[in-house]
Amino acid sequence: MPQNEYRPIDLRSDTVTRPGEGMRGAMARAEVGDDVFGDDPTVNALQERIAGLLGFQAALFVPTGTMSNLCGMLSHCGRGDEYIAGMSAHVYRWEGGGAAVLGGIQPHPLTARADGTLDPAQIEAAVKPDDPHFARTRLLCLENTAEGKVIPVEYLESTAKLAHGLGLATHLDGARLFNAAVSSAGSGDPFDEARRIAAPFDSVSVCFSKGLGAPVGSALLGSAEFIGRALRWRKALGGGMRQSGVLAAAASYALDHHVPRLAEDHANAAAFAEGVTGLPGLVVEPARTNMVFAGTTGGLTTEDLAARLAERGLLCAGAGRLRFVFHLGVSPADTAEAVRIVRETLAT
């Protein structure tokens, strides 16, 4: 929706979206039941739909992406096992250390390359020998998009093949999988591309409450047997939501209406990056799908600049560098206004 004088332009994250009238109507009309008993028809329909779209036997609707990733990792690994992930990956850096705290699963983080991928040679070297001195390496976790970067399908296929050859299971944190699919599909079908992205993995997590604009919810996908294990973990983690069809209806509405339009967010991000590139004191990285990152120079800290932008009605996130995230709550006019605010702030 367009911004107005009473609401700042909020580019902190694509999680700040709010359901519009169409989505709220779908939620109000949702048929519901007790999902813990498997009785919610709207949840069941969503789970069947997303599993079919991405080529899996089964899916599990959960409240958050953090829980989806965690249920997946707990279902792949036991106590004393280990997972490999990127140093900046959400499962390692941004999700409270849940796998270690709640599952006794040790992380082995690797530094990602400039394009967001992990070096296959480093992945192979990280796998521990079968020796009681070491944790048992069980799982490789990849992410797409990774800080907004689209990871090519060819890399995902070859790296998952490598992991499987090393005896590892594979999990994709696809919180923004549809951003990656829309970007790489071009004029093609983004759902076909999403299925290609997901295909190499044993499990995939997809978020409905970021760019797709639902208020709550993610899905974990895998084999029927795997999702059976994940269901037990969802219960143990407090994720059984009873009449959650009202939330699943929002996710289904998002799949119906909000996937191809992600290209608008990518276009707005690119326009914003172009509009603020070259300003004194600001070092802008090229737009990555719906995200723009920037650093500062000349003694101006990113924290100071973020605070000054907020005073003028533009919210962003980040420490060490700024992150501007575009979403369905941000129009081209808002994007132009965001450029104006940044220019005006740096000029004073």
What residues pair up with 146 in beta bridges, in sequence order?
A: 149
Structure tokens given for 136: 């048992």
Residues 6+ apart with CB under 8 A from 210: 13, 14, 15, 17, 65, 175, 176, 327
Q: Are strands 203-207 and 169-174 parallel, antiparallel or unpaired?
A: parallel
Give the residue among 105, 104, 142, 106 at the shortest CA–CA distance from 123. Answer: 142
pLDDT confidence of residue 215: 98
How does residue 4 score in pLDDT terms, banded at 50, 70 and 90?
very low
Secondary structure (3-state) at 214: coil
pLDDT confidence of residue 15: 97
Contact between 168 and 142 (Cβ < 8 Å): no
Sign of the alpha-carbon dihedral angle for 313, 316, 321, 323: negative
pLDDT confidence of residue 319: 79
pLDDT confidence of residue 28: 98
Structure tokens given for 153: 């399908």
> Which whole number is the average pLDDT over 287-312?
95
Residue 5 has pLDDT above 70, yes or no: no
Give per-residue pLDDT as tens, 13-72. 999 999 999 999 999 999 999 999 999 999 999 999 999 999 999 999 999 999 999 999
User: Could you give the domains of the chain?
Assistant: 9-18+261-347 (3.90.1150.10), 31-257 (3.40.640.10)
Give CA–CA dist 155/160, Å, rounded.
8
Q: Running DSSP on this structure, what letter comes out for residue 217?
A: -
How does residue 7 score in pLDDT terms, banded at 50, 70 and 90?
confident
Residues 6+ apart with CB under 8 A from 21: none
pLDDT confidence of residue 1: 42
Contact between 248 and 42 (Cβ < 8 Å): yes
Give per-residue pLDDT as tens, 176-228. 999 999 999 999 999 999 999 999 999 999 999 999 999 999 999 999 999 99
Structure tokens given for 49: 């739909």
Single pTM value for the model: 0.96
How does residue 3 score in pLDDT terms, banded at 50, 70 and 90?
very low
Chain-wide mean pLDDT for the chain? 96
pLDDT cut 90: percent of the chain above it: 96
pLDDT confidence of residue 6: 61
Edge-to-edge, what's the strand order for the sheet holding 322-325?
282-284, 291-296, 322-325
Give per-residue pLDDT as tens, 242-289. 999 999 999 999 999 999 999 999 999 999 999 999 999 999 999 999
Residues 6+ apart with CB under 8 A from 19: 27, 213, 214, 215, 250
Contact between 178 and 190 (Cβ < 8 Å): yes
Sign of the alpha-carbon dihedral angle for 58, 64, 65, 67: negative
How does residue 80 score in pLDDT terms, banded at 50, 70 and 90?
very high
pLDDT confidence of residue 2: 45
At residue 249, φ and ψ (nearest 5 deg) are -65, -35
Give per-residue pLDDT as tens, 58-78. 999 999 999 999 999 999 999
Give CA–CA dist 205/187, Å, rounded.
25
